[in-house]
Amino acid sequence: MSNLLRHRLFWPALSLVALIALNTAVRPRFIQITVRDGELYGALIDILRQCAPLMLVSLGMTLVIATRGIDLSVGAVMAVSGAVALTIIDGSADPGSVGTVLVAIVCGVGVALVLGVWNGFLVAVLKIQPIIATLVLMLAGRGVALLITDGFITTVNSKPLEFVAGGHLLGLPFALFIWVAATVAIALAERRTALGMLTEAVGINPEASRLAGVRSRGIILGAYVASGTLAGVAGIIYSSNIRAADANAAGELIELYAILAVVLGGTSLMGGKFSIAGTVIGVLIIQTLQSTILFLGVSSAESPVFFAVVVVIVVLIQSPRVHQAARRLTRGRPSRPAPELRTEAEVAP
């Protein structure tokens, strides 16, 4: 039991379960999953579908934060990627063809990858502070997206594109497969190879890593490229969902939600040790919370405050200081008698 309590994912997971339990208590319908035409529906399924863009962005953010960095440009990269892809589809003779959509997606994600390289170059090679380096693109990116769409919201009518966010595969939302695949790919890349350990080493002590011969430049660059690319995919999903490229609204504030998800998942903003599973839980907490707001019918004026209050509670639940205080309260007064008992017990034999 105490091992379970000490596991770094225990409190994030508990927060998620508590949030789901709260919803279910208010309206039992929340955990119902129904089958229609062989496809699964329900509030939980919606959460798994809708979280895809935030999930992809947060996975990238986790890697960047592990290197002691931060990527503020992810929202803007989403906008650019969506704009590129939808402009291609919009301009093609046959917007409904799978080939066109695939080309458009590859181009959109490709441009996002290049933007990731740009961020990585500024941070890893030119040694510009990450917050400043990515701020450049955060501010400029949406302008680029507007240039691509000529200042309009490009809307398209394309079945293959709609499938990305709205389609089903094996009864489950297709978007779920995208983020699960991305999560598994990243987890394997980090833990089956030495990338995870080297990334943590660079994040914890860059100078020691350099002197140990770690090629930190490549590792840091790689993290920003991954972040950019994943944001690109997230941009495609977002555009698919609204069937339009909206340069202003795509991925708005998502960088901040992604940072929140990473932190909720137990990865420190100081860099170093990171947890992919933690980030997944962090994203699910945020998405569940947003569904809760809709589900409970919180008015749009009240919802930011509601969101903020719940986030504060979740953060407090995870705080080691709060745990200490709680322990002190439940045990009456202090730690003093307890260790003494323990000492006697162990010294006796």
Partner 1 sequence: MTESRTVVEMRGITIRFPGVLALDGVDFCLRAGEVHALMGENGAGKSTLIKALTGVYGIDRGTIAVGGEERVFGTAADAQGAGISTVYQEINLCPNLSVGENVMLGHEPRTLRGIDWRATRREATRHLASLGLHLDPQSLLASHSIAVQQLVAISRAMVLDARVLILDEPTSSLDREEVDRLFTVVRGLRQQGVAILFVSHFLDQVYEISDRITVLRNGKLVGEYLADRLPRSDLVSKMIGRELDELEAISASAERSIDRAATPVLSAAGVGKKGVLHPADLDVYRGEVVGIAGLLGSGRTELVRLLYGADRPDSGTIAVHGEPARLSTPRHAIDRGIAFSSENRRAEGLVPELTVAENIVLGIQARRGWLRKLRRAEQEAVVSEHIRALDVRPPDPNRVAGDLSGGNQQKVLLARWLATAPELLILDEPTRGIDVGAKADIQRKVAELAARGLSVVFISSELEEVLRLAQRVVVMRDRRQIGVLDSSSVDVDGVIEYMATEGEGSVA
Q: Minimal distance in Å, beta carbon 273 to partner 1?
A: 6
Count CB neighbours of 177 within 10 A.
15
| Choice between 166 and 272, CB closer to partner 1 | 272
Asked if 250 contacts 144 with a C-beta cutoff of 8 angstroms, the reply is: no
Count of residues touching partner 1 (by CB under 8 A): 29
Q: How far apart are the two ends of the chain, measured CA to CA in Å?
A: 26
Residues with Cβ < 8 Å from 63, sequence gap 6 or more?
186, 190, 199, 222, 223, 226, 227, 274
Give the residue, chosen from 96, 166, 167, 272, that forms a contact with partner 1 under the rule CB under 8 A. Answer: 272
Asked if 292 contacts 19 with a C-beta cutoff of 8 angstroms, the reply is: yes
Triad 116, 117, 119: Cα angle to 5° = 65
Give the residue, chosen from 188, 197, 313, 322, that forms a contact with partner 1 under the rule CB under 8 A. Answer: 197
Q: Minimal distance in Å, beta carbon 315 to partner 1?
A: 22
Rg of the chain on CA atoms, in Å: 22
Which of these segments, 9-17, 172-180, 207-215, 282-290, binds partner 1 (CB under 8 A)?
207-215
Q: Mask of contacts with partner 1, 87-116, x by CB under 8 A?
A: ------------------------------
Q: Minimal distance in Å, beta carbon 338 to partner 1?
A: 9
| Choice between 25 and 345, CB closer to partner 1 | 345
Residue 201 binds partner 1 (CB under 8 A)? yes
| Choice between 273 and 323, CB closer to partner 1 | 273
Asked if 179 contacts 54 with a C-beta cutoff of 8 angstroms, the reply is: no
Give the residue, chosen from 181, 208, 313, 326, that forms a contact with partner 1 under the rule CB under 8 A. Answer: 208
What token pair was written down for 268?
């420190």
| Choice between 58 and 216, CB closer to partner 1 | 216
| Choice between 147 and 197, CB closer to partner 1 | 197
Give the residue, chosen from 107, 195, 242, 249, that forms a contact with partner 1 under the rule CB under 8 A. Answer: 195
The DSSP call for residue 33 is -
Q: Minimal distance in Å, beta carbon 347 to partner 1?
A: 8
Distances 99 to 81, 88, 175, 347 between C-alpha atoms, Å = 18, 12, 19, 74
Residue 71 binds partner 1 (CB under 8 A)? no
Q: Minimal distance in Å, beta carbon 339 to partner 1?
A: 4
Residue 120 binds partner 1 (CB under 8 A)? no
What token pair was written down for 45?
């399924």
Asked if 149 contacts 88 with a C-beta cutoff of 8 angstroms, the reply is: no
Residue 193 binds partner 1 (CB under 8 A)? yes
**Rule CB under 8 A: which of 288-347 touch partner 1?**
335-336, 339-340, 342-343, 346
Distances 48 to 81, 113, 219, 321, 339 between C-alpha atoms, Å = 22, 25, 30, 32, 45
Residue 192 binds partner 1 (CB under 8 A)? yes
Q: Minimal distance in Å, beta carbon 326 to partner 1?
A: 18
- CA–CA separation, 284 and 312 (whole Å): 16
| Choice between 139 and 184, CB closer to partner 1 | 184
| Choice between 60 and 75, CB closer to partner 1 | 60
Strands 172-173 and 154-155: unpaired
- CA–CA separation, 179 and 219 (whole Å): 23
Residue numbers of the site for partner 1 (CB under 8 A)? Answer: 192-195, 197-198, 200-201, 204-205, 207-215, 219, 272-273, 335-336, 339-340, 342-343, 346
